[in-house]
Amino acid sequence: MKRRTRWLFAFLATQLLGCAARHPDGLRYAQVLQGPEEPRDVTRMIREPSLDCLRQAEQHVEQPSDIYAAPLPPALRHGYADVVRNLHPSAKQVLRRTDGIWFARNIPGAAARFVPCRGRGKAVGIVLVDTSQKPLADTSPDADMPMRFWQLLGGDITVERSAASTDAIEPNHNAARYVILHELGHALSLLAGEFTLGPEQQFALGSGETFLAFSWQQRDLREPGFVPSGLAFPEWIFIRQTLDSDATWLAPGYQRPRKLDTANACTLVDKLPLAGFVTPTAASAPTEDYAELFAHAILADEGKIHPKDKYSVTLQGCPTQFMLAPYFSEGVSAKREYIEGQLGL
């Protein structure tokens, strides 16, 4: 696997534990997004984690010394200060509500993680970025990242951009920016109350009455656990296995299904957007669905993804297929309107 693909893959294979939990009263988007812009200089959010957050972050690295101690190397600080300064205003606002962004030299299985923890004030966690996987050195546009997420299914994919999205792409908005947007999506999902935190500071699924209801349903009323409502179970398991993630916490008691045959795998390209998912990663878990949708909503608001963008997808053993930008597909439209409405975009 190419190095670049490997860190992406690792980033996508986020492991989040879940358990059934009651949903808190109401959603809190307005408080999160329309609150005071403090600190006004968002680069101040690049700061050492508070004690509890540091302890939680240590769970995601091999040894505590893998987490940087202050002060950061100047080049690292300046590089990420640029990324943070260039975030979308909504993303900056979410970052201000976290305990901040910090760095590790190696995060096994991920290029970045949102680490839930009891931070300063009402903060819900930190964004921890793995610097050894060099997302800063990856200068490809953030708008390329959705395409690369599709490549995780093992195929080749290219995008023919419309003139509108080509014009909107900013050369200094690189892959690291997308990584951070995705993690901030996880943060917002907690801050706004779409998901909750369990007693061990793990993500817990809500009642299924909010965001969750668009594409997920309880698999079995007698047991907790959600599965995609618009995707056949074996196809979903195929995606999770391809992304090297385990479905057991989401769908307790699931059995490894009969192997998905190639013909079915080929049709996934059509089925994922129809089932409401913007990337295979989004279909891997409700939490990833949310983080991916948030990142897409930001890119769309910036004009970098456009309904007329054409994707060419060639999965192994499948004929080349074409699709329009999944974010604008009919299957995603209700969820798209929901997130854009909540974000005020």
Residues within the interface to Zn ion (CB under 5 A): 14, 288, 291
Nearer to Zn ion, 72 or 295 (CB): 295
Q: Do 281 and 12 form a contact (C-beta atoms < 8 A)? A: yes
Cα separations in angstroms, 148 against 127, 168, 194, 282? 21, 19, 27, 13
Q: 313: which strand partners? A: 157, 321
Nearer to Zn ion, 239 or 260 (CB): 239
- Report the relative pairing of strands 100-104 and 125-130 from DSSP bridges: parallel
Supply the minimum distance, in Å, between the C-beta of residue 193 and Zn ion: 18
Nearer to Zn ion, 142 or 288 (CB): 288
d(CA 75, CA 103): 13
d(CA 226, CA 219): 5
Supply the minimum distance, in Å, between the C-beta of residue 112 and Zn ion: 8
Nearest-CB residue for Zn ion: 14
Nearer to Zn ion, 143 or 291 (CB): 291
Supply the minimum distance, in Å, between the C-beta of residue 228 and Zn ion: 16
Supply the minimum distance, in Å, between the C-beta of residue 233 and Zn ion: 22
- Please count the other Cβ atoms lying within 10 Å of the Cβ belonging to residue 3: 10
Angle at 98 between CA 92 and CA 99, to 5 degrees: 125
Q: Where are the beta strands (DSSP E) in the chain?
A: 100-104, 112-116, 125-130, 156-160, 196-197, 203-204, 216-220, 223-228, 310-314, 321-324
Q: In sequence order, what are the residues at sequence separation of 6 or more whose Cβ sits closer than 8 angstroms to the Cβ of residue 253?
A: 220, 223, 225
Single-letter code of the amino acid located at 254: Y
Instruction: Provide DSSP, 288-322.
Output: HHHHHHHHHHHHHHTTSS-TT-EEEEE-TTS--EE
Backbone angles phi, psi at 203, to 5 degrees: -65, 140
Nearer to Zn ion, 130 or 288 (CB): 288
Supply the minimum distance, in Å, between the C-beta of residue 306 and Zn ion: 24
Sheet holding 310-314, edge to edge: 156-160, 310-314, 321-324
Q: In sequence order, what are the residues at sequence separation of 6 or more whose Cβ sits closer than 8 angstroms to the Cβ of residue 5?
A: 148, 151, 152
Supply the minimum distance, in Å, between the C-beta of residue 126 and Zn ion: 14
Nearer to Zn ion, 29 or 114 (CB): 114
Supply the minimum distance, in Å, between the C-beta of residue 152 and Zn ion: 13
Nearer to Zn ion, 144 or 270 (CB): 144
Supply the minimum distance, in Å, between the C-beta of residue 222 and Zn ion: 29
Cα separations in angstroms, 176 against 1, 17, 37, 57, 342? 20, 25, 23, 19, 25
Nearer to Zn ion, 181 or 260 (CB): 181
Supply the minimum distance, in Å, between the C-beta of residue 69 and Zn ion: 26
Nearer to Zn ion, 186 or 306 (CB): 186
Place of tokens 């079995």: 220
